[in-house]
Structure 1
């Protein structure tokens, strides 16, 4: 497995994976050509040194996974850095073979390299298998998350 920062050429593959689940297909707009809003978002992410949009390639150089890692500077924890994982996705035909565990192990090591004091994520309560997966890796449901969506 090769973990690397995504390029603009990868955006279509990433959006396809994000849209390819029960929740993603209700909020994403994967089509060819890809809507410009995704390229615009990629450019903003790519220009921010605190953002890492990662793709995972298999031995055939096919993109089989993706995630976004954000490093948030805080004043609390003596000016600590918090790492936030978002949009962890695995290509449908690659699920169930341990790739998710490898991806999270990579993320944990990357957060430690960046001297983060905590690694956090959210997952929808409608994803019980994902919750169990993260718990098995050592994540704890230590806080109650709250969101306010704006259309």
Structure 2
């Protein structure tokens, strides 16, 4: 049996600034960065540096997938369960025949996200996985580079969806 592709990424408090939502599972670092994972595996909010970042549409935030070369991203939704200090998300994009298991593990200064992507169709193909984080906070700016920033409220007044770490001028 072929092993599922694995991937790992890290979030650090310096990347964003992040509150407590009772229905969400919170993954929190010692230095105050926290992700609030909803019951279906979406990201409801991020808290860092005392600022709460949220989205008007939490279904747009969280893990998503697309077949390599496609322009269309599909949200990965399923379930989220606490396992000690970590949160495990089991989610799928059924229309694509793809599923993911991702573990959000807090460390002192970062959150490790380790996952495996499974192809339920058992075919040879490539896929991309990205993590979309909420990016709405009162008075927040996103720095495009060392000299130029964008007012997030003004930028998001145009496109209704949250900024994605993998797309466009707001890429990490």
Instruction: Output the TM-score relative to the length of structure 2.
Output: 0.28
Q: TM-score, normalised by structure 1?
A: 0.31
Q: Larger relative CO (CA 8 A, sep 6+): 1 or 2? A: 2
Task: Kindly indicate which of the two structures has a greater share of residues assigned to strand.
Answer: 2
